[in-house]
Amino acid sequence: MPKEEINEKTAERLLLAAREARKNSYSPYSLYPVGAAVLAESGKVYAGCNMENVSYPASLCAERNAIGSAVAAGERKFLAIAVIGSYDSYTMPCGVCRQVIAEFKIPLIIAGRSEKDYRTFTLEGILPYAFEEDSLKKEQENP
């Protein structure tokens, strides 16, 4: 999705919410706090932060935390998700988060040095050839 399709006020609103969520990060091992905020079709914003565990696979990324909160509240359709990491760089979602973002086909906004410095990405741009529902149906039809 080109940047102009995600209105600037929406991007800034989500990036501010992600920045606030990042303040609550529990990241004692990586020391890399991440915040995310997802905008549901209902207009509500759901935020999440990363939550680490000494056993890394038990950790929860900010993106999945935000999307999970929205899903738990009954949301199923999303307009955008914003992610803001640390060190003033563009923090891309991990592979598992990309797959969760793909499940809901959510356009992605990644912050740089400020809420005005961001990039947008399409699903195809961050996860080409994603494993999607159509893939599963094809497998069921042709065992």
Identify whether 63 is a catalytic site residue: yes
The pLDDT of residue 91 is: 92
Helix 62-72 crosses helix 8-22 at what angle (to 10 degrees)?
110
Spell out the residues 6+ positions from residue 17 whose beta carbon is closer than 8 angstroms to its own: 35, 37, 45, 47, 82
Give 45-88 pLDDT, tens digit per residue.
999 999 999 998 999 999 999 999 999 999 999 999 999 997 67
Do residues 68 and 48 lie in contact, with contact meaning Cβ atoms separated by under 8 Å?
yes
Sketch the domain layout of the chain as residue ranges. Answer: 3-141
- Give dist(CA 123, CA 94) in Å, integer: 13
- Residues 63, 103, 132, 139: which is the catalytic one? 63
Say if residue 24 carries a ligand binding annotation.
Answer: no
Say if residue 8 carries a ligand binding annotation.
Answer: no
Nearest to 117 by CA among 19, 50, 33: 19
Say if residue 94 carries a ligand binding annotation.
Answer: yes
The phi, psi pair for 15, rounded to 5°, reads -65, -35
Calculate the CA 86 to chain-centre distance: 15
Q: Which CATH class is domain 3-141?
A: alpha beta
The pLDDT of residue 78 is: 97
